[in-house]
Amino acid sequence: MNNYKDYIQLKDVLNFRHWRVMRQDRILEFIEEEREKFFKSLDCEPTRKNLLKLCPLVQGDAYVLGFLVSKAYSPEEIEEKKRYYLSLEPLPEANVPIGLWKYKVERTFRGASFNDYPDWHFCCLDTYRKLGRFYF
C-alpha cells in the first residue's frame, strides 16, 4: 500500500462543514496531509467493505476525508429514519435513559454536519444505543 489514490476514488470534501473553519489557502494541503496520515494508519486496503468494519470514530474520519461516501437520502427517507430511531429504546447494558436517547436522536438529525455524511451518524446512533454514552 503505497498511495491511497491507487485504491480508492475520493469524494470532494471541501464543502463539508468540518472544513469550513479553516483558511482557504491552507485547506487543500491540510486535507492531503490528513488523508496520507489516515491511509498510513490503516492495516488493510481502504475499500468500502474494509472501512465499514472499523470502529465508528475511525469511520467518521473516513467520511470527513472522503474515503467513504454516504448514500443520498431524500427528506422523506430522513424523516422515516428519524421516526425509526425515535421508536427504538437503548439497550439495558448501555445505561442510557430514554429521555437522553431521544435528545441524542433529535440533536443528531438537527446537526450541521448531518447532511454531509448521514450514514456515519446512523452508525454512531446504533453504537450509542448498544454501548452507551461513555463510548464516545
pTM: 0.78
What gap in Å lies between CA 99 and CA 117, rounded to an integer?
25
Give the per-residue pLDDT at 82. 96
Q: At what angle do helices 75-87 and 118-131 cross, to 10 degrees?
A: 0
Q: Structural domain boundaries of the chain?
A: 4-65, 75-131
Please write the tens of the pLDDT for every residue from 75-110: 999 999 999 999 999 999 999 999 999 999 999 999
Please write the tens of the pLDDT for every residue from 54-76: 988 899 888 888 888 888 899 99
Share of the chain above pLDDT 90, in %: 37
